[in-house]
Amino acid sequence: MSKVTRRKLLKAGAVAGAAAASSAFAQEFFSKPSSVLGPARGNRVVIIGGGWGGVSTARHLRRKNPNIEVVLIEKNPAFMSCPMSNLYLGGVKDLDFIVFDYANVARAGVTIINERAIEVNRAGRYVRTTSGLVFYNYLVVSPGIDYMYEAIQGYEEVKQFLPVGFKPWEHIALKRQLDNFEGGDLVLAIPKPPYRCPPGPYERAAMLAYYLKTNQIKGKVIVLDANPGPISKGPGFTAAYNDLYKDYIQYIPQAEVTAIDYARKEVKTPLGEFKFDLANIIPPMKAGEIVRTAGLGDRWANVRLPSFLSERDDRVYIIGDVIGNVPYPKSGQVAYNDGKIIAEHIAQRIAGKRLDEIANPLPDNICYSFVSNEESIWVSHKHNWDEAARQIRQQATVDNNRSKPNGALALEWARGLWSDMFGPDA
């Protein structure tokens, strides 16, 4: 049994406090059962998913036109940011740094339904939730990702013991495991793309090593990467591993995890078996299940380029990580920018413009990755539509030189977007 420290008690209190605050918010702001939201009057936009893309769409729609009825369906009572969550796992930031309630979203006139969306009937233009029907004129689908546990033999049966931490709120269980980790081999497995946040697993490796080093835990992060090398910001991550954590990280490329034997605490790869004392196995990913039940796609959902309209329904917009046929990174920044673009597009349609009269700007991206408690590296992407080739062109800029100024910019970036999403309107 691990020793109960004051630090652990404080963190447990932070989790309990977040839960209590969420409950109080729910009683004040969440709508009545969704069965009351009958046929729409012509300007109702329903959004599935209260993450980066969904909240951005909701806030910008209300700012564009306060007469637009915006309904946000979200199963969780509060928002937890996956971007910046590795700082929480590494012990640099507390949980409340990345958790926000939806109070100001509701105050901005967004109807929030704290339920799970379980069906989309596109012919009838309604969403079925756990307690009723929500009719729409336009639908924005932003459910985030699900895991393909079936891609790794033995994972499905033991997933409750192996929190992934690439969907909101899973990080709490993973952090609890880290806080109880007394040493040994910590295996971190990275899948082949596409997956949410391409540099995220490599940042996590650095922050887990930082955690071990800072807390003087005799252990090592064994990074089993299915890829031939880091797929984003490779030189920056490699330099950090070698310079800062040479005794705490072992990076092994082309080591895709194909099976888990949890009883033996062992994973299988083409390079052999690896034992673990603690494991964070990131499986391949796919779009949230509602994409498939709605008939909008299979693993991912395609859009009608260069817009965000579903290829299968021009009343439905696809947003963020679930899009399949674009080169955009599956990042919080892209989802946020998608929301701004979609809000403008819908507002113009409601104002009477035809689809061929509405511009289709493309989202830019910037992604910061911490490699220590204060130092960060970054990559940015510009996207342009090539009409002649009918495809999206991407141009990347990267700064692989870790620095404290980059770390300060990363925190400023996060706080700025969170303020726009969850702060009060002026």
350-396 pLDDT tens trace: 999 999 999 999 999 999 999 999 999 999 999 999 999 999 999 99
**pLDDT above 70 for 23:** no
Residues 136 and 260 in one domain: no
Domain boundaries, position 111? 44-144+288-361
Task: Identify whether 131 is part of a domain.
Answer: yes
**pLDDT above 80 for 79:** yes
**Listed residues 320, 335, 361: the one ending a domain:** 361
Q: How far apart are the first and last CA of the chain?
A: 51
Cα three-residue angle 302-304-307, rounded to 5 degrees: 110
Residues 184 and 261 in one domain: yes
More confident residue, 44 or 29: 44
Task: Identify whether 420 is part of a domain.
Answer: no
Residues in the chain: 426
Backbone angles phi, psi at 126, to 5 degrees: -150, 160
Residues 140 and 261 in one domain: no
Percentage of the chain modeled with pLDDT above 70? 92
**Listed residues 247, 266, 283: the one ending a domain:** 283
pLDDT at 41: 75
Residues 313 and 219 in one domain: no
- What are the Cα distances from residue 262, in Å, to 92, 278, 279? 30, 10, 10
Residues 110 and 178 in one domain: no
Task: Identify whether 102 is part of a domain.
Answer: yes
Residues 271 and 154 in one domain: yes
Task: Identify whether 366 is part of a domain.
Answer: no
- What are the Cα distances from residue 273, in Å, to 151, 256, 266, 267, 280? 17, 11, 7, 6, 16
Do residues 22 and 77 touch, judged by C-beta distance below 8 A?
yes
Residues 204 and 241 in one domain: yes
**pLDDT above 80 for 412:** yes
Residues 339 and 300 in one domain: yes
Cα three-residue angle 25-14-88, rounded to 5 degrees: 110
Q: List Cβ neighbours of 168 (8 Å cut-off, separation of 6 or more).
A: 51, 76, 79, 80, 81, 82
Dist CA 43 CA 205 (whole Å)? 46
CB atoms within 10 A of CB 16: 10
Cα three-residue angle 173-199-262, rounded to 5 degrees: 40
Task: Identify whether 367 is part of a domain.
Answer: no
pLDDT at 40: 73
Total domains present in the chain = 2
pLDDT at 371: 98
Task: Identify whether 308 is part of a domain.
Answer: yes
Task: Identify whether 2 is part of a domain.
Answer: no
* Residue 8, Cβ density class (10 Å: 0-12 exposed, 13-18 middle, ≥19 buried): middle
323-359 pLDDT tens trace: 999 999 999 999 999 999 999 999 999 999 999 999 9
**pLDDT above 70 for 10:** no
pLDDT at 38: 77
Band (pLDDT 50/70/90 cuts) for residue 37 is: confident
**Listed residues 324, 343, 361: the one ending a domain:** 361
Sheet containing strand 376-386, strands side by side? 365-370, 376-386, 391-403
**pTM, 2 dp:** 0.93
230-244 pLDDT tens trace: 999 999 999 999 999
Residues 191 and 310 in one domain: no
Residues 57 and 136 in one domain: yes
The mean predicted confidence, pLDDT, of the chain is 93
Task: Identify whether 345 is part of a domain.
Answer: yes
Tell me, what CATH number does 162's domain have? 3.50.50.60
